[in-house]
């Protein structure tokens, strides 16, 4: 069993990002990332601080538009449209979730596709499905980059994605299909989850439920990617996979923390730099 070390790879990507930003600055371009943060959700504020710190370390200009939870949808879209026109902003990120009175899709669709570094705009979603040039969501492309680093080619593999969200599961499915994997995608209404997971050469899980995947649900030699991040009663982070009992059966497995998590912000930096290059 080998650990897929996302923390070390993310540090490598961030180091390269810093060099790329230095090179762009020599050409008179400073990559810029704007974050829209609405409300007082503690997790969202933590994520935004992590992103701001990563930008600062890399040399990317960053700005956070922090708005009260009762702000109107029109005001949010007005702010986004202002950033769409700002030549110093290369990437715009809407921190999710948004308050219940906001139409999330309308807000995401107001971001210019060229600045949609989270890959949530229908333009980028469509291009991802068609395997065309696009921005793809950071967590799924982080998973693909992690597999690449360990010379794991999904081509021809029986793969199973557990979780069908627009942010992780669906783009993950399309990225795997684009690499010619055979993809089985499961969700809350799947009748017998274990019947699907037990067949998988590559199992990718991201639903947010502690110990959802147990030892008997994984075949010997499987590659297991755990995207889930959950907090135990003792405050420690854990994934969706029963790591202690599942790991001995695997050829490769990601830990939580230190697996996919660090890759998400690393790929956000990479996407922002790509957007700046296209400026």
Closest CA to 63 of 97, 36, 23: 36
Q: Which two tokens stand for residue 28?
A: 């008179």
What is the DSSP pairing of strand 61-67 with strand 2-3?
unpaired
10 Å Cβ neighbour count for 58? 25
2 as an active site residue: the answer is no
Residue showing tokens 């037990």: 198
Residue 109 annotated among the catalytic residues of the structure = no
Q: Which residues contact 79 (CB under 8 A, 6 or more apart)?
A: 36, 65, 67
Which H/E stretch holds residue 47? helix 42-58
Please tell me which residue in 20, 90, 95, 184 is annotated as part of the active site.
Answer: 95
Going by C-beta distance under 8 Å and a sequence separation of 6 or more, which residues neighbour residue 188?
A: none
For residue 217, give Cα distances in angstroms to 99, 113, 206: 36, 39, 15
Catalytic residue among 20, 51, 90, 170: 51
Told to judge if 114 belongs to the known catalytic residues of this protein, a careful annotator would answer no
Catalytic residue among 20, 90, 116, 118: 118
Residues taking part in catalysis: 51, 95, 118
């Amino acid at each position: 069993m080998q650990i897929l070390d996302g923390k070390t790879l993310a540090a490598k990507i961030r180091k390269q990002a810093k060099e790329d930003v230095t090179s762009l600055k020599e050409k008179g371009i400073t990559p810029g990332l704007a974050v829209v943060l609405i409300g007082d959700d503690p997790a969202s504020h933590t994520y935004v601080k992590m992103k701001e710190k990563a930008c600062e370390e890399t040399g990317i200009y960053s700005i956070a538009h922090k708005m009260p939870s009762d702000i109107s949808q029109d005001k949010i879209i007005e702010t986004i449209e202002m950033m769409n026109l700002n030549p110093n902003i290369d990437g715009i990120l809407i921190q999710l979730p948004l308050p219940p009175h906001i139409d999330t899709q309308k807000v995401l669709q107001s971001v210019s596709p060229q600045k949609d570094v989270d890959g949530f705009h229908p333009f980028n979603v469509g291009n991802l499905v068609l395997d065309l040039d696009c921005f793809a969501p950071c967590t799924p492309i982080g998973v693909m980059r992690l597999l690449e680093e360990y010379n794991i080619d999904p081509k021809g593999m029986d793969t199973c994605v557990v979780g069908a969200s627009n942010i992780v599961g669906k783009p993950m499915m399309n990225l795997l299909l684009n690499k010619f994997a055979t993809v089985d995608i499961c969700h809350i209404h799947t009748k017998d989850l274990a019947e699907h997971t037990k067949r998988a050469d590559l199992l990718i899980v991201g639903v947010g439920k502690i110990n959802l995947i147990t030892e008997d649900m994984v075949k010997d030699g499987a590659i297991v990617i755990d995207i889930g991040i959950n907090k135990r009663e003792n405050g420690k982070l854990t994934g969706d996979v029963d790591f202690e009992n599942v790991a001995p059966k695997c050829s490769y497995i990601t830990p939580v923390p230190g697996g996919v998590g660090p890759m998400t912000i690393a790929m956000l930096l990479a996407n922002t730099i790509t957007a700046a290059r296209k400026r």
